Amino acid sequence: MSKLESKIPEGTIETKWSKYKSSVPLVNPANKRNLEILIVGSGLAGASAAASLAELGYKVKVFCFQDSPRRAHSIAAQGGINAAKNYQNDGDSVHRLFYDTIKGGDYRAREGNVHRLAEVSTAIIDQCVAQGVPFAREYGGLLSNRSFGGTQVQRTFYAAGQTGQQLLLGAYSALERQVGMGTVEMYNRHEMLDVVTIDGKARGLIVKNLITGELERFFGHAVLLCTGGYGNVFYLSTNAMGSNVTAAWRAHKQGAVMGNPCFTQIHPTCIPVSGDHQSKLTLMSESLRNDGRIWVPKKEGDNRSPVDIPEDERDYYLERRYPAFGNLVPRDVASRAAKERCDAGFGVGPSKMAVYLDFKFNMMRYGKVEATKMGLQNASDDEILRLGKEVIKEKYGNLFDMYKQITGENPYEMPMRIYPAVHYTMGGLWVDYELMTTVPGMYCLGEANFSDHGANRLGASALMQGLADGYFVIPYTIGSYLSKEIATKAIDTSHPAFVEAEGRVQKVMDQLLNIKGTKTVESFHKRLGKIMWDKCGMARNEKGLKEAIVEIQALRKEFWSDLRVPGTQHEFNPELDRAFRVADFLELGELMCIDALNRSESCGGHFREESQTEEGEALRDDNNYAYVAAWEYKGESQWELFKEDLKFENIKIAQRSYK
Amino acid sequence: MEINLKVWKQKDAVSDGKLIDYKVSHVSPDMSFLEMFDVLNEELIVNDQEPIAFDHDCREGICGMCSMVIDGKPHGPLEGVTTCQLHMRSFKDGDTITVEPWRARAFPVIKDLVVDRTAFDRIIAAGGYISVNTGNAQDANCLPINKDDADDAFMSASCIGCGACVAACKNASAMLFVSAKVSQLAKLPQGQPERYTRVANMVAQMDKEGFGACTNTGACSAECPKEISLTNIAQLNRDYMQAKFLENA
């Protein structure tokens, strides 16, 4: 493979995208009708891309493993979506969003891509409102904003704690509109299991019909992978149960290189693990840090109820360590700080692996404002608190209900207990400026690609990126490739390349079913997750990573010799589907450890214990690691590293500080 | 805790199904209902028995994929809660719990507790959208919307499309689902241009899918995990009637 061509356009940062758009080759409408695009995944990136490309006239097919495209896990995003609208007149701008994102990502993202993201962010909000997305509004009828971590402006648009749901339903409705018009064919309960390449170009997919178990072949002039992140490699994460890496991993094994696979986001505010039965973790939105203050007792092993611990015996450690950003430091910083306190013995709750997120202070603050508005002169503290609770309820009601359901505790009366959990993966398939992977004709959008968030994603930026890629980037960039494909006729799926690809999938399927061992898929997944969390999680070191690689290899061997998958292929068999996914996680996990081992600096969410400042902050090594690590698959346990050097021409690279 | 289960097992859409007894030991009150099923399935697999097929994904009450009728109630005994957010602390040691799939002609069983809800997608495809192509939008704040209307639209839009309303209804009507989308868009200025064609087309598709008629008994709203209000149905009826008058005018 030749070196990685990022294809960042020439020109100043402000003009790159507009110049690109006005010079990219176009495909005329008559030709668009003959060009087929296969899209895998129906989340924000997939659904928005499918709708937008079908509107342009392309023939689109969309595949999702869920029973409806509306179930994609984008739906669970809670807090909001960033956009540089500057509606609050608080100094926001495209440049500032660009700057915050690069800095938040600890200077490990590409300037060109991130600036484009900031530029198109404003159009996303316009598009969503036009679709009928019910964003939160002020009494004057205009849109409301709130703050998220790593920024000092209010640029986050939201719909209570269900922003992802509302944005996805907007994209889903646009998608279904095209389905109704016959321009998109939707394949629910279909999972992509391999990619077909002919003469080096992506030309189709092998897809499993999850109801009948049949393998089906589809031809496309281009393939878009919009398949989300791979946080489930850790078993416990905030991802949906079905979220997986299989589509991306199969593409990787067919030549698409993986960028920065070890960059994982551990979200600071999740509901702590309650026991071995736990199947997933639930996020409590970062937006709660607008109004919740994080603390632990000052005294080690303090077992009093939180409401009995007086103010001066509480350590608001984020406010103490980071006075400028306080509780709104970026996620990686907040997560490490929580871990530090718990490891030092100050954790709370039954497991002692939790910290408090306390709303009382801001309930009182809001209550006083409400009392003043209502003209109550001498309201009692109880009355003020009651009014404040109402305000909090309106802002975060569904999150508080969810917390209560899961823990059995009432967060209106007691502080929440929270702990960091795996949430998002910044790493993913390497793509160029056009979102194309190293396999021509194969694109990767949204969380599945590596491109915009560097080593740490800022809150409310995932929704922004998914929709930016789908609505406003791919409709332009795909023309650059497809304009040269207009003479390519649809290739019959009896072509040997399709037969071969289907054969690869069938072989794996048969192997999985024929092991007939003693251990379940879940048991292997749990063990993999534990290795990953312990040794490639919030803190990593050389010794642990080397051990993890050996352990994963051994676990993989055991998987392939002692796995038990019930049933057959030709029926609805979720265990078989899971086995396929876990088999891929067992390979991905190893690469993540190799990548983490290679990057001996700390940056963003990647914290190498060997590389930290005296105060315990992540210490980058810009001389040696200001690059994207892109790994090419060379056979089992074999990868070749390619480096894309990151150049910072518009932002002065500096040690990140939120103090 | 020890829990006795009677679970609907059905090979596929054409086969007959029946309730099968299972026993799950060592159930923790902190487990979710679905985690109890995970534990049971792990045991079944190890003992060479067929696991129970059930739909689930996000496990945080928002994707709408989980779908179990628990002791006769869609999503179980609690109000405003999906199956995945139901925890075993809501049950007692020794309880016998019956678990069945959504039952409706328009939702054929795929296997065991898994049903086919693609009829909902087709109803949305028939009109549950605003026709605006990407790139056509004006600045978002050019369109001020009264906060109460925006809040109402949001409440309607919080429907997760799980189908509990259909499962709860004695007529297997999809009126609550359809009305939630109709009302959301009817309350917003963006939804006005297509307001009446939308309701007519969505209702026509709903009928075509084989959902029953609405008799306003309100079981749908009572069992809805997102507590979608019956007023949405009133809105739909109003708009539908107006649409029919407009058609005939």
- Give pLDDT tens digits for B11-36: 999 999 999 999 999 999 999 999 99
d(C-alpha A75, C-alpha A71), whole Å: 7
3-state secondary structure of B61: coil
d(C-alpha A228, C-alpha A378), whole Å: 53
Residues of A in contact with B184 (CB under 8 A): 132, 134
3-state secondary structure of A614: coil
Question: Is the Cβ pair B64, A123 closer than 8 Å?
Answer: no
Is B148 touching A (CB cutoff 8 A)? no
Q: Nearest-CA neighbor of A406 among A286, A296, A291, A281?
A: A281
Banded model confidence at residue A659, pLDDT cuts 50, 70, 90: confident
To which residue do tokens 């959008």 refer?
A445
Check whether residue B237 and residue B160 sit in a common domain: yes
Q: What CATH number did the domain enclosing B16 receive?
A: 3.10.20.30
d(C-alpha B98, C-alpha B108), whole Å: 20
A288-317 residues touching B, CB cutoff 8 A: none
3-state secondary structure of A578: helix
Q: Nearest-CA neighbor of A227 among A239, A213, A209?
A: A239
Question: Is the Cβ pair B140, A180 closer than 8 Å?
Answer: no
Residues of A in contact with B129 (CB under 8 A): 131-132, 173-174, 176-177
Question: b/e for A560-577, b at 16 or more Cβ within 10 A?
Answer: eeebbbbbebeebbbbbb
Catalytic residues of A: 331
Burial of A385 (0-12, 13-18, 19+ CB in 10 A): middle
* Cα distance between the two ends of chain A: 44
d(C-alpha A206, C-alpha A202), whole Å: 12
Which helix (H) or strand (E) segment holds residue A596: the answer is: helix A574-598
d(C-alpha A440, C-alpha A429), whole Å: 13
Give the percent of chain B with pLDDT over 70: 100
pLDDT at A656: 86
3-state secondary structure of A641: strand
Instruction: Copy the structure tokens of residue A125.
Output: 């909000």
Check whether residue B77 and residue B198 sit in a common domain: no
d(C-alpha A315, C-alpha B246), whole Å: 66
3-state secondary structure of A346: coil
Sign of CA dihedral B102, B103, B109, B111: positive
Check whether residue B56 and residue B124 sit in a common domain: no
Question: Is the Cβ pair B140, A125 closer than 8 Å?
Answer: yes
Q: Nearest-CA neighbor of A97 among A159, A148, A163, A167?
A: A148
β partners of residue A631: A258, A641
- Across the interface, which of A85, A135, A162 has its CB nearest the CB of B158? A162
Q: Give me the domain span that covers residue B82.
A: 3-111
To which residue do tokens 């695009």 refer?
A37
Residue B149 has a CB neighbour count (10 Å cut-off) of 16
Check whether residue B142 and residue B222 sit in a common domain: yes
Among B111, B135, B157, give the residue marking a domain's end: B111
d(C-alpha A151, C-alpha A467), whole Å: 21
Report the pLDDT averaged over residues A28-36.
97
Domain boundaries, chain A: 268-422, 494-623
Burial of A350 (0-12, 13-18, 19+ CB in 10 A): exposed
Check whether residue B59 and residue B161 sit in a common domain: no
Report the pLDDT averaged over residues B164-191.
98
d(C-alpha A597, C-alpha A224), whole Å: 30
d(C-alpha A207, C-alpha B205), whole Å: 29
Question: Is the Cβ pair A134, B188 closer than 8 Å?
Answer: yes
pLDDT of A609 strictly over 80: yes
Question: Is the Cβ pair B58, A132 closer than 8 Å?
Answer: no
Check whether residue B134 and residue B242 sit in a common domain: yes
Looking only at the bridges linking them, the beta strands covering A416-425 and A264-270 are antiparallel
d(C-alpha A632, C-alpha A255), whole Å: 7
d(C-alpha A196, C-alpha A610), whole Å: 42
Report the pLDDT averaged over residues A44-51.
98
User: What is residue B139's DSSP assignment?
Assistant: P
Residues of B in contact with A476 (CB under 8 A): none
d(C-alpha A557, C-alpha A560), whole Å: 5
Question: Is the Cβ pair B85, A575 closer than 8 Å?
Answer: no
d(C-alpha A260, C-alpha A631), whole Å: 8
d(C-alpha A468, C-alpha A475), whole Å: 10
The answer to whether the beta carbons of residues B101 and B113 sit under 8 Å apart is yes
Mean pLDDT of chain B: 97
pLDDT of A1 strictly over 80: no
Check whether residue B42 and residue B126 sit in a common domain: no
Question: Is the Cβ pair B59, A279 closer than 8 Å?
Answer: yes
To which residue do tokens 């795909």 refer?
A478
Question: Is the Cβ pair B132, A127 closer than 8 Å?
Answer: yes
3-state secondary structure of A134: coil
Residue B71 has a CB neighbour count (10 Å cut-off) of 14
Residues of B in contact with A402 (CB under 8 A): 60-61, 85
Q: Nearest-CA neighbor of B132 among A434, A210, A131, A355?
A: A131
What are the backbone angles phi and psi of residue B72, rounded to the nearest 5°? 85, -5
**Chain B residue with minimum CA distance to A568:** B50
Q: What CATH number did the domain enclosing B183 receive?
A: 1.10.1060.10
The answer to whether the beta carbons of residues B21 and B27 sit under 8 Å apart is no
The answer to whether the beta carbons of residues A331 and A268 sit under 8 Å apart is yes
Among B79, B111, B143, give the residue marking a domain's end: B111
pLDDT digits (tens, 9 = 90+) for A201-248: 999 999 999 999 999 999 999 999 999 999 999 999 999 999 999 999
Burial of A277 (0-12, 13-18, 19+ CB in 10 A): middle
Summary count for chain A: helices (H), strands (E): 18, 19
CA B29 to chain centre: 26
d(C-alpha A127, C-alpha B132), whole Å: 8
Give the percent of chain B with pLDDT over 90: 98
Sign of CA dihedral A41, A45, A50, A53: negative
d(C-alpha A526, C-alpha A539), whole Å: 19
Check whether residue B45 and residue B139 sit in a common domain: no
A450-489 residues touching B, CB cutoff 8 A: 471-472, 475
pLDDT at A2: 55
pLDDT digits (tens, 9 = 90+) for A269-308: 999 998 889 999 999 988 899 899 999 999 999 999 999 9
The answer to whether the beta carbons of residues A282 and A422 sit under 8 Å apart is no
Give the percent of chain A with pLDDT over 70: 100
Distance from B173 to chain A by nearest Cα, in Å?
A: 20
Residues of B in contact with A242 (CB under 8 A): 57
Distance from B199 to chain A by nearest Cα, in Å?
A: 14
pLDDT at B248: 74
* Cα distance between the two ends of chain B: 65
Check whether residue B192 and residue B174 sit in a common domain: yes
Give the percent of chain A with pLDDT over 90: 94
d(C-alpha A375, C-alpha A387), whole Å: 13
Is B184 touching A (CB cutoff 8 A)? yes
**ipTM of the prediction:** 0.98
Poorest-pLDDT segment among A130-134, A444-448, B242-246: B242-246
∠ CA B98-B103-B109 to the nearest 5 degrees? 100
A46-75 residues touching B, CB cutoff 8 A: 48, 51-52, 55, 66-71, 73, 75
Distance from A211 to chain B by nearest Cα, in Å?
A: 7
pLDDT at B249: 66
What CATH architecture applies to the domain A268-422? Alpha-Beta Complex (3.90)
Check whether residue B126 and residue B183 sit in a common domain: yes
**Chain A residue with minimum CA distance to B83:** A405
CATH topology of domain A494-623: Methane Monooxygenase Hydroxylase; Chain G, domain 1 (1.20.58)
Among B111, B143, B165, give the residue marking a domain's end: B111
pLDDT digits (tens, 9 = 90+) for A549-584: 999 999 999 999 999 999 999 999 999 999 999 999
**Chain A residue with minimum CA distance to B227:** A398
Which site among B129, B139, B145 would you substitute to test the A interface, given the most A Cβ atoms closer than 10 Å to its Cβ? B129
Residues of B in contact with A172 (CB under 8 A): 124
B213-232 residues touching A, CB cutoff 8 A: none
To which residue do tokens 């307001």 refer?
B195
Mean pLDDT of chain A: 96
Instruction: Copy the structure tokens of residue B199.
Output: 């309701």
**Chain B residue with minimum CA distance to A273:** B30
Please tell me the total count of domains within chain B: 2
Residues of A in contact with B45 (CB under 8 A): 520, 564, 566, 575
Check whether residue B50 and residue B69 sit in a common domain: yes
Residues of A in contact with B114 (CB under 8 A): 67, 572
The answer to whether the beta carbons of residues B86 and A104 sit under 8 Å apart is no
3-state secondary structure of A87: coil
pLDDT digits (tens, 9 = 90+) for A455-498: 999 999 999 999 999 999 999 999 999 999 999 999 999 999 99
Q: Nearest-CA neighbor of A488 among A36, A49, A38?
A: A36
Estimate the crossing angle of helix A574-598 against helix A521-535, to 10 degrees. 20
CA B206 to chain centre: 14
pLDDT at A161: 87
Check whether residue B146 and residue B94 sit in a common domain: no
The answer to whether the beta carbons of residues B102 and A147 sit under 8 Å apart is no
pLDDT of A633 strictly over 90: yes
- Across the interface, which of B35, B46, B137 has its CB nearest the CB of A279? B35
Q: Nearest-CA neighbor of A247 among A195, A298, A204?
A: A195
- Across the interface, which of A134, A140, A165 has its CB nearest the CB of B153? A134
